[in-house]
């Protein structure tokens, strides 16, 4: 069968959605280069996923004819990590901005970088909040006047490339939206890297921060203001290629070649150096004292997060065998904390080993035969309608306590179901309500009504609810009774642990 990836073009990655960024926005250039580079990778677009957060850049997944997720503010790194762990074969791109990625998402970005998950991060840096209309961002320069800093920002700005290198990212690069050839090459190299690749793109917001990067993108100035990093080459720049960077102690300085200074005196770039020191030093070159570096700052090899995670899982299975989720759930003591019990944490510790009265006594050493296990698992799909449950004893909310208590004693009832005038479920009046709200208190049983003390709007279930779900609710919340209602909300049966246990035996036989 022919390889469909061999004939892919940019058009294969263009979605049917109208691209809606402001005319002249730098995002258009980044989108175009991404769509041009992806066909060259030979990866089926069905294996590609673009994940974004919130911001102008986060529209990106809509415009790519691949899988995509427009997630919540700053959480794209977290979601993308989960995708890679669940399916390591996916080719994942995180698209973020200086606000989304370095403000609310800063914590998530840092941990993704240090873990070395095998995916790609593209951070659009326009030094402004564009989508929310021009507030200063984490990368805005000190003194920058915006709608949220009318007297000038008083905050020290983030340097995204420095942050990435400081987090020990294994691939860190920088490029610009208007240098399309360089942008395409960096995207290609990022995609080919095994591990987390981080690419900062200087991107122009022509509405709220126009011209932020003109000094490194305009033809008249960019050669003198940028340093193109090339692995194994001395750091030379300038229109006439007559300037370079050398170290003066620990301080990088700009020098002019000639007059005793040669290429041998200059720093030589080594993007694969294991130490992040050189990459970090280069990331701190500051305009106008230095040219701003573009290219790959750091590129090293390190095991990826998902590889190590899968290896641990494989080793655990080899050492301990396949896991058993049901056995895990019942491998330790459990107990139910009643609501409004007044218990303190120290009280709970004292009863931690006491089984809950509403939970089946399944100990940690349970040994269930395969046939019995299948029968128990069937409870998760068989509905409560299969059981022979008792009819509820129904009263109105106006029923007085003396009548209600007599009825419960005469018929040995654990609870009464309270209904409205149109027979719909209104509440439950249980033995627990008597003990907690009646006994020991000065209450007139002949005038106090059930409605004043009942649990209103209790949890109820339809007859189609699985038996296992009913038991789960009882164990989770400490419920002793759950009314079963019809489609009109009228109680028809009453589920209790005792009734279920009595009836389920016959169901499994």
pLDDT, one tens digit per residue, over 134-176 is: 999 999 999 999 999 999 999 999 999 999 999 999 999 999 9
Domain count, the chain: 3
- What is the C-alpha separation between 113 and 193, in angstroms, rounded? 13
Question: Does the pLDDT value for residue 330 go beyond 50?
Answer: yes
Examine the domain organization and report whether 175 and 244 are in the same domain.
no
Q: Is residue 375 part of a domain?
A: no
**pLDDT category of residue 3 using cuts at 50, 70 and 90:** low
The answer to whether residues 217 and 261 belong to one domain is no
Reported as type and span, the H/E element at residue 73 is none
For the chain, the average pLDDT equals 89
Does some domain include residue 363? no
Under the banding of pLDDT at 50, 70 and 90, the label for residue 116 is very high
In this structure, the chain runs to a length of: 509
Quick check: is 338 in a domain?
A: no
181 with 240, same domain: the answer is: no
Task: Tell me what pLDDT residue 362 has.
Answer: 41
Question: How confident is the model at residue 348, as a pLDDT?
Answer: 44
Residue 32 has pLDDT above 90, yes or no: yes
Beta carbons of 190 and 172 less than 8 angstroms apart: no
Residue 243 near residue 257 (C-beta atoms within 8 A): yes
In this prediction, residue 341 carries a pLDDT of: 54
Residue 466 has a pLDDT of 86
Secondary structure tally for the chain: helices H, strands E? 18, 18
Per 3-state DSSP, the chain is made up of helix, strand and coil in percentages (nearest 5) of 35, 20, 45
Buried b (16+ CB within 10 A) or exposed e, 265-281: ebbebebeeeebebbbb
pLDDT at 296: 98
Asked if 219 and 262 sit in the same domain, the reply is no
Rounded Cα distance, 51 and 95, in Å: 6
- pLDDT surpassing 70 at residue 377: no
Q: Is pLDDT of 280 > 50?
A: yes
> Tens of pLDDT along 415-436?
999 999 999 999 999 888 887 7
Q: Are residues 293 and 252 in the same domain?
A: no
Residue 436: the pLDDT is: 78
263 and 150, same structural domain? no
Together in a domain, 244 and 145: no
Q: What is the pLDDT of residue 194?
A: 97
**CATH at 111:** 3.40.50.970
Among 250, 267, 284, where does a domain finish?
267
Instruction: Identify whether the C-beta of residue 401 lies closer than 8 Å to the C-beta of residue 445.
Output: yes
In a domain, 340, yes or no: no
Rg of the Cα atoms in the chain = 33
Distance CA 287, CA 212 (A): 12
Count Cβ atoms below 10 Å from residue 228 Cβ, excluding itself: 17
Q: Tell me, what's the pLDDT at 1?
A: 42
Q: Residues 108, 109, 110, 112: what is their CA dihedral angle, to the nearest 10 degrees? A: 90
**H-run or E-run covering 173:** strand 171-176
Angle between helices 305-320 and 76-86 (to 10 degrees): 40
Please name which of 305, 295, 296 lies closest in space to residue 114, comparing C-alpha atoms: 305
Flag whether 424 is in a domain: yes
Measured N-to-C along each axis, helices 467-477 and 497-508 cross at an angle, to the nearest 10 degrees, of 150
| Residue 323 confidence (pLDDT) above 90 | no
Q: What is the pTM of this model?
A: 0.67
User: What tens digit of pLDDT does each residue of 460-476 get?
Assistant: 999 888 888 888 888 88
Across residues 365-380, what is the average pLDDT? 56
Q: Which of 243, 267, 291 is the last residue of a domain?
A: 267
Alpha helix (H) ranges present in 122-248? 160-166, 180-192, 214-217, 222-225
Q: Would 326 be classed as within a structural domain?
A: no
Same domain, 248 and 154: no
Whether 228 and 279 map to the same domain: the answer is yes
Q: Does 273 fall in a domain?
A: yes
Of 267, 290, 319, the last residue of a domain is: 267
Residues 109 and 241 grouped into a single domain: no
| Mean pLDDT of the region 14-35 | 96
331 pLDDT above the threshold of 80: no
Q: Select from 163, 185, 214, 159 the least CA-distant residue to 296.
A: 185
Buried (b) or exposed (e) across 128-137, using 16+ Cβ within 10 A?
bbbbeebbbb
Band of the pLDDT at 43, cuts 50, 70, 90?
Answer: very high
pLDDT (0 to 100) of residue 369: 52
Ramachandran quadrant class, 501 (left: phi over 0; alpha: psi -120 to 50; beta: rest): alpha
Instruction: For strands 491-496 and 481-485, give the pairing.
Output: antiparallel
Do 225 and 161 fall within a single domain? yes
CATH number at residue 435: 3.10.580.10
294: tokens are 């573009």
Beta-strand ranges (E) seen in 251-398 are 251-256, 292-299, 394-396
pLDDT of residue 137: 96
The whole-angstrom separation of Cα 50 and Cα 187 is 14
Under DSSP, the state recorded for 390 is: P
pLDDT at 135: 95
Report the run of H or E that residue 491 belongs to, with start and end. Answer: strand 491-496
Same structural domain, 182 and 44: yes
What are the CA-CA distances from residue 357 to residues 327, 329, 376, 480 (Å)? 20, 18, 20, 9
Look at residue 107 and tell me if it is in a domain. Answer: yes
pLDDT of residue 322: 87
Cβ(89)–Cβ(71) below 8 Å: no
484-489 mean pLDDT: 92
User: Residue 5: pLDDT above 90?
Assistant: no
Which pLDDT score, from 0 to 100, does residue 337 have?
57
Looking at residue 384, what is its pLDDT? 87
Task: Give the range of the structural domain holding residue 472, as residue numbers without chain letter.
Answer: 384-508
Written as six digits, the tokens of 466 are: 């699985």
Task: Determine the pLDDT at residue 356.
Answer: 41
- CA-nearest of 27, 20, 79 to 50 is 79
């Amino acid at each position: 069968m022919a390889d469909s990836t061999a004939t892919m073009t940019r058009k294969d990655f263009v979605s049917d959605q109208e691209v809606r960024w402001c005319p002249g926005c730098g995002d258009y250039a980044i989108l175009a280069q991404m769509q041009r580079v992806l066909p060259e990778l030979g990866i089926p677009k069905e294996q590609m996923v673009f994940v974004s957060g919130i911001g102008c850049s986060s529209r990106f997944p809509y415009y790519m004819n691949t899988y995509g997720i427009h997630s919540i503010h700053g959480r794209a790194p977290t979601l993308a990590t989960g995708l890679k762990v669940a399916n390591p074969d996916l080719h994942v791109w995180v698209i973020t901005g200086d606000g989304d990625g370095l403000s609310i998402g800063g914590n998530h970005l840092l941990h993704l970088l240090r873990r070395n998950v095998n995916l790609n991060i593209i951070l659009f840096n326009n030094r402004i909040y564009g989508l929310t209309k021009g507030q200063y961002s984490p990368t805005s320069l000190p003194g920058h006047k915006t709608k949220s800093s009318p007297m000038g920002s008083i905050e020290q700005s983030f340097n995204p490339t420095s942050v990435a290198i400081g987090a020990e990212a294994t691939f860190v690069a920088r490029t610009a939206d208007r240098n399309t050839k360089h942008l395409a090459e960096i995207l290609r190299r990022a995609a080919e890297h095994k591990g987390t690749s981080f690419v900062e793109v200087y991107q122009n917001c022509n509405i709220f921060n126009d011209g932020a990067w003109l000094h490194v993108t305009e033809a008249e100035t960019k050669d003198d203001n940028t340093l193109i990093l090339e692995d194994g080459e001395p750091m030379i720049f300038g229109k006439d290629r007559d300037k370079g960077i050398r170290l003066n102690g620990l301080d990088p300085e700009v020098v002019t070649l000639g007059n005793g200074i040669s290429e041998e005196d200059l720093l030589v770039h080594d993007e694969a150096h294991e130490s992040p020191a050189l990459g970090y030093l280069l990331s701190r070159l500051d305009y106008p004292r230095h040219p701003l570096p573009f290219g790959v700052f750091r590129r090293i090899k390190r095991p990826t997060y998902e590889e190590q995670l899968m290896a641990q899982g494989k080793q655990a299975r080899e050492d301990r065998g396949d896991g058993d989720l049901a056995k895990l759930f019942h491998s330790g003591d459990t107990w139910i904390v009643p609501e409004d019990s007044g218990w303190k944490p120290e009280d709970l510790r004292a009863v931690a080993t006491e089984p809950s009265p509403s939970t089946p006594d399944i100990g940690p050493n349970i040994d269930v035969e395969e046939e019995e296990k299948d029968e128990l698992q069937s409870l998760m799909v068989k509905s409560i309608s299969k059981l022979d449950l008792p009819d509820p004893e129904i009263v109105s909310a106006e029923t007085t306590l003396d009548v209600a208590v007599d009825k419960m004693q005469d018929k040995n009832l654990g609870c009464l179901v309270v209904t409205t005038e149109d027979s719909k479920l209104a509440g439950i009046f249980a033995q627990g309500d008597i003990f907690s709200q009646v006994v020991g208190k000065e209450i007139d049983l002949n005038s106090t009504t059930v409605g004043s003390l009942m649990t209103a709007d209790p949890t109820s279930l339809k007859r189609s609810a699985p038996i296992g779900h009913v038991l789960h609710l009882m164990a989770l919340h400490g419920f002793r009774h759950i009314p079963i209602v019809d489609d009109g909300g009228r109680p028809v049966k009453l589920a209790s642990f005792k009734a279920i246990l009595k009836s389920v035996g016959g169901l499994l036989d």
